[in-house]
Amino acid sequence: MIIRTEIILPPFPRGFHLITRYVEQQLPSLPDKGLLHIFLKHTSAGLSINENCESSVRRDFETIMNRIVPESCGYEHALEGDDDMPAHVKSSLTGQSLMIPIFDARLDMGVWQGIYLCEFRNRGGARHLTLTVWS
């Protein structure tokens, strides 16, 4: 059985944001066993699973990504602002989808794992996710 739903996340400022609760609140009843696929319908943001407790991790991610992919580097694609092309590159580095196992009708993630929206634009706006459950 496949169940698909779409959710819209509120606008977040640039940075790494835990969205685990947003996702869990919008999921239908989960099967005992299965898979959840999360797909982000944007090219200037990304998804990641990482540490869900210490907020310094999120700040460090932002710092590291800005060092790896700096703004104002003479990008040819610059019509939408200095943060646009770097956002596309960062999105390609993190990716736009996640696959999470389901066990005992819950997302089977580690104790310290959470789902991140990686917002790479200064004003990215609302972000659309497709959630697909396979059982």
Helix (H) or strand (E) holding 92: helix 84-94
Q: How many domains in the chain? A: 1
What CATH number is given to the structural domain containing 41? 2.60.120.460
Whole-Å CA distances, 102 to 30, 50, 68, 113, 116: 8, 17, 34, 14, 18
The residue range of the domain holding 28 is 2-134
| Tens digits of pLDDT across the chain (135 residues) | 999 999 999 999 999 999 999 999 999 899 999 999 999 999 999 999 999 999 999 999 999 999 999 998 889 998 899 999 999 999 999 999 999 999 999 999 999 999 999 999 999 999 999 999 999
The token pair at 8 is 């819209």
Question: Alpha-carbon distance 86 to 74, whole Å?
Answer: 11
